[in-house]
Chain A
Amino acid sequence: MALQPFRLARPKTLAEARALREENDEASFLSGGHTLLPTMKQGLSRPPVLIDLTRIADLRFIKDDGDTVTIGATTLHEMVGSSQVVRGKIPALAGLAGSIGDRHVRNRGTIGGSLANNDPAADYPSAALGLGATVITDRRELIADDYFVHLYETALEPGEIVTRIRFPVPDIAAYAKFRHPASRYSIAAVFISRTADAVRVAVTGAGLRGVFRATEYEAALSKNFHADALEGLSIDSSTMLSDLAATPEYRAHLVHVMAKRAMNNLGTAQSYK
């Protein structure tokens, strides 16, 4: 299917973007376009109007707030990956951003676009959930635990626009992922963080319902924050996705291995290999 005609709207403000969306409820927001445009090229989605969010001022930034790092929704993966602030405060997040797609994709793809799409194999959802981030929209704040609902489904209301994401700075964090041989998306990836009050273990690429927290793993690591603490634990394969590259059993096993590897990546920007 060749890309079908649409109208591109290029608002300069959030208010304009909202108004455009209200005019046409079939309109889609467009950020980096690296998910939406390929989907449209394949004829899987045909919005008549695209509302480009990347020309709206003040949505592309990385801000060090001390205990938190706030990232604007249209900030590129490459910017997060190479940011001195992120590399210094949450190296695992920088590593995760630097592992998305390939360097050209990272030069277009945005954090807001990724979180709004909530692809079950995307990387950012695991960081948002694994760090207990807050997704801030044009109308409210949503904590990550409430934000991710199901595959490609979030708590965003129709027309709601993600504007920035606020990440708490953890004591330490890590990411490890196992990639699909063709698409290079994650088959299983685990983001682990420890803050003063909690250990969080978020899993992406594997779950039937999208990104999720591995609570048993969190409990074990809360007692003993070491890879050894994971011995004997396992992931229920009945909650795992299945495809040609990975059966539910294999995915469950990979999640476990990635959790262990994440514990060996602590404090680094390492994500695979």
Chain B
Amino acid sequence: MTVVSMTVNGTKVTRDVPDETLLALFLREHLELTGTHIGCDTTQCGCCVVNLDGRSVKSCTVLALHADGSEVTTIEGLAKDGLLSPMQQSFHDMHALQCGYCTPGMVMAATNLVETYKGELTEEVVREEMEGNLCRCTGYHNIVKAILAVAHGEVTPHDKVEA
């Protein structure tokens, strides 16, 4: 067991955890932030993507101890001032989610992608850069549209997060 401290969604947390605790399970089981999902064992599906110190990472292949002293943002931390984030809003507007299981990782990855590329994204780049996130429901069509809409500054959040 080792004490680990990090800032998650703006809140400092400290827990004593087994060394082998994966960041995804730390979030889900120790912090009860169950929005971060686990969909595979081989770092392929992307359901567990979170933001770690400004980088998108697959949290099922990062140890909680790796994130010691870091800033972590999860799907629960994206909304601001009671409103959906632009990417969340765009996914809602474009019907870019169905079952919702890949959605947290997808939104986190897409958010980071747009931050990286600013406004320069094209469909081809989105498709290439998002290949590490699998979705079984949408055929990706509406997700691509949703990401491009945010990249092109076409989305203004207006829906309130449920209380």
Contacts and interface: CB of A to CB of B under 8 A. Distances in A.
Contact of A34 (B52, B61, B109): B61
Interface stretch (A37-45, A56-64, A65-73): A37-45
Contacts of B43: 34, 37-38, 101, 105
Given A6-B19, A34-B43, A108 B132 contact: no
Contacts of B46: 102, 104
Contacts of A102: 46, 129, 131-133
A5 interface: yes
A78 B53 CA distance: 14
A8 interface: yes
Given A33-B61, A34-B61, A38-B61, A104 B109 contact: yes
Contact of A33 (B49, B52, B66, B132): B66
Contact of A10 (B42, B65, B129, B132): B65
A108 B57 CA distance: 7
A267 to B, nearest CB: 21
B41 interface: yes
Interface residues of A, number: 26
B124 to A, nearest CB: 9
Interface string A27-57: 0000001100110011000000010101000
A12 interface: no
B79 interface: no
Nearest to B21: A3
A4 interface: yes
B20 A78 contact: no
A139 interface: no
B42 A5 contact: no
A74 to B, nearest CB: 12
A103 to B, nearest CB: 5
Nearest to B116: A103
Contacts of B41: 38, 41-42
Contacts of A42: 41-42
Nearest to B50: A104
A108 B61 contact: yes
A7 B17 CA distance: 11
A37 B43 CA distance: 9
A54 B57 contact: no
A104 B20 contact: no
A140 interface: no
Contacts of B82: none
Contacts of B37: none
B56 interface: yes
B62 interface: yes
Interface in A207-225: none
Contacts of A6: 19-20
A184 interface: yes
Nearest to B131: A102
A38 B19 contact: no
Interface string A93-125: 000000001111101100000000000000000
A264 to B, nearest CB: 19
Contacts of B20: 3-6, 8
Most A Cβ at <10 Å: residue of B19, B22, B46: B19
Given A8-B19, A34-B43, A104 B58 contact: yes
Contacts of A103: 56, 109, 112-113, 129, 132
A273 to B, nearest CB: 8
Quick one: which of B46, B52, B58 has the most chain A CB within 10 A?
B58
Given A7-B19, A103-B113, 12 more contacts: A8-B2, A8-B65, A10-B65, A33-B66, A34-B61, A37-B63, A42-B42, A102-B129, A104-B56, A105-B132, A107-B55, A108-B62
8 contacts: A5-B18, A8-B19, A54-B66, A103-B56, A103-B132, A104-B49, A104-B109, A108-B62
- Which 7 pairs from chain A and chain B are nearest by CB? A102-B132, A8-B19, A107-B55, A41-B41, A104-B58, A37-B61, A38-B42
